[in-house]
Amino acid sequence: MAKYGFLGLGIMGCPMASNLIKAGHEVVVWNRTPDKCAPLLEKGAAQAQSPAEVVALSSVTFAMVSDPEASLELLFGSGGVLEAIGEGKGYVDCSTIDPHTAIEIGLSITEQDGRFLEAPVSGSRKPAEDGTLIFLCGGNQSLLEEIRPALDVMGKIVHYLGPVGQGARMKLVINMIMGGMITAFAEGLALAEKAGLQTDDLFTVLDEGVLAAPLFRVKGPRMAAGDFAAVFPLRHEQKDMRLALQLGEELTQPLSNAAAVNALFLRALSAGCGNEDFSAVLKAIRTCCRDA
């Protein structure tokens, strides 16, 4: 099978790379913190010393890092991707970044005769572990078809949305909606508690009607129990809200609700909740109630 590279072994990248290994693919890995490679080495991965070395050893390299700055550092930093990319080599960025960064990365890759596909994912840690992510792709369609077996190992659905930038735009819209949903849910939970309602009753009634949603079903009991162990860190959701608002400003599209939601995420971030799950926005809502 083809040899794949994987850059970034955090909450999402590690299980994604692990699924490639389980499927029998040869995988070369790198992470800014080298110790994070250890679980994958035990499963049969090889470890490289730099992003450039990963690219040199791989036909196609995947990247999954935290933000636009980290994505650009992978390319332009010392020992970066651009030092080794060349004719025929594929580069697939699965990170959630803004469309301008995606386009800049794509141009940098193709200027050196490489092939580029943006492929941000819809889904958090559990779908990454289960191989049920949804890929939102833009860019080189022939590269997409070439790596479809790998995408099918890591995900359940692959969408091709057009030129580079469209995948990033779709991901920002999706995460903006998700941020609004979890915030509305958290406000409802806080109000129900103050009104003396049983949270289990709230969750049951929600699940019986048109508001039934897997997000509420999974997050509700954990939020009520005060369990905010990170499945999708709050700091990442706030970053995505910020990038969505930036996109709205560029397109002169008012996003009043998203701006209010982002303010609550910023409040939670300043309260030290950045590394907790994004559902910890509930803490900011409760604080607002106490301050009122």
State how far the alpha carbon of 261 is from the alpha carbons of 22, 141, 241, in Å.
39, 35, 8
Q: What integer pLDDT is reported at residue 1 of this predicted model?
A: 54
Distances from the Cα of 204 to the Cα of 221, 223, 264, angstroms? 11, 15, 26
Task: Name the nearest CA neighbour of 131 among 12, 221, 6.
Answer: 12
Question: Domain check: are 143 and 195 in the same one?
Answer: no
The pLDDT of residue 104 is above 90:
yes
Listed residues 135, 163, 191: the one ending a domain: 163
What pLDDT is stored for residue 254 in this prediction? 98
Q: What is the mean pLDDT of the chain?
A: 96
- pLDDT, tens digit, for every residue of 112-156? 999 999 999 999 999 999 999 999 999 999 999 999 999 999 999
Asked if pLDDT for residue 199 goes beyond 50, the answer is yes
Q: What CATH number did the domain enclosing 143 receive?
A: 3.40.50.720
What confidence score (pLDDT) does residue 289 get? 53
Confirm if 151 and 135 have CB atoms less than 8 A apart: yes
**140, 246: one domain:** no
Burial (CB < 10 A; 0-12, 13-18, 19+), residue 282, is buried
Total tally of structural domains belonging to the chain = 2
Whether 76 shows a pLDDT value over 60: the answer reads yes
Q: Which residues are catalytic?
A: 171
Residues 119/136, Cβ–Cβ less than 8 Å = yes
- Whether residues 147 and 211 share a domain: the answer is no
Q: Are residues 86 and 176 in the same domain?
A: no
The Cα–Cα gap between 272 and 264 comes to 13
Last residue of a domain, one of 139, 163, 187: 163
Q: pTM value?
A: 0.95
pLDDT at 171 over 50: yes
Instruction: Give the pLDDT mean for 227-248.
Output: 98
> What's the confidence (pLDDT) of residue 287?
85
Identify the domain containing residue 241 by its residue range.
169-291
pLDDT bin (cut points 50, 70, 90) of residue 292 is very low
Checking if the pLDDT of 2 tops 90, the result is no
Quote the percentage of the chain above a pLDDT of 90.
97
Mark which of 163, 184, 212 sits at the end of a domain: 163
Number of Cβ within a 10 Å radius of residue 179: 24
- Three-state SS at 156: strand
Report the candidate in 42, 29, 57, 27 with the shortest Cα–Cα distance to residue 150: 27
**CA-to-CA distance for 246 and 84, rounded, in angstroms?**
32
